[in-house]
Structure 1
Amino acid sequence: MIVKSQKKGAGIMEVIVGLAIVMLGVFVLLRTYNYYLKFGLLHKYDVQAALLAEEGIEAVKLLRDSGWTNKISTLNSGIVYRLAFVNSSWTSTTTVKYIDGVFDRTFVLSDVYRDSNDDVANSGTLDPGTRKLIVFVAYRSGLSTTTKSISAYITNLFAN
């Protein structure tokens, strides 16, 4: 004897509930991806500026490595300089040059003084073999300009 179930349409309800769960999952994934893209596009310039600032530190270190006497000690303290990549090497310049038409990377060197304990201090004895380096990267962000900076000390490591 065959017994018929009294639950008609139960299979359709299971399909509808299953589709609703799948659609909810797809919606959540698309919404998450949308936030990811929005966040990525908003902070694209921040990431590029940070990388350009780090590259600026490394470029000045390469200048130092190729000749402290000719390329670092000749630069005046407090003057704004820029970096240019000419003939496969870095050089310092005062000429404005935008990177990708967006970013303005500058750097400033300042003198370093040491106290009686040979620690870096605001005043004391001038250390001619050490300079403080600050790299700035500025770019337009909406109606304002955003500037990122990074600093380091460089020394006459190779006595050149």
Structure 2
Amino acid sequence: MLRETTLQQTVQQLGDLLSLRGETVVTAESCTGGWLVKALTDRAGSSAYVLGGLVTYSNSMKCDLLQVPSSVLAEHGAVSEPVVRQMVAGAVRASGADYAIATSGVAGPGGGSEDKPVGTVWFAWGSPGTGIVAQCCHFEGDRDAVRRQSVVYALQGLLDYLQKP
């Protein structure tokens, strides 16, 4: 399976890079439901660089655990750039990690809208101190396919972020 190999390779590269740099990561997940932290911790020795994961599936958990302002959620919705940026900042604040990955999306089969159809996922990477990058993607397929693609994309996005000069 190419996808699984790619995921394992990305996790290995991320782990090697974070270990080499002595840095840590935390996840702030909505639509991926903990899959990011699961993928990261599948690798032996990951406790050296993975501090944990926060699954904040509901808006109230995004507010309570990550301190995403309810006004931001009300104005933009959970699946939005401002929310994933706030999720990264909140996860770094809550954990003390060097970096965070955040995901929020519409995995389906329901829940989509004209503005945010099923398959829409927002990602963010970074930290308030080093800058936060956000990106939106649209994935095809059923719920499982959207979530799988999101996990690979999110982890590759963090790797790309960390490898920037």
TM-score, scaled to structure 2: 0.27
When Rg is computed on C-alpha atoms for both structures, the one with the higher figure is: 1
TM-score, scaled to structure 1: 0.27
Higher helix share: 2
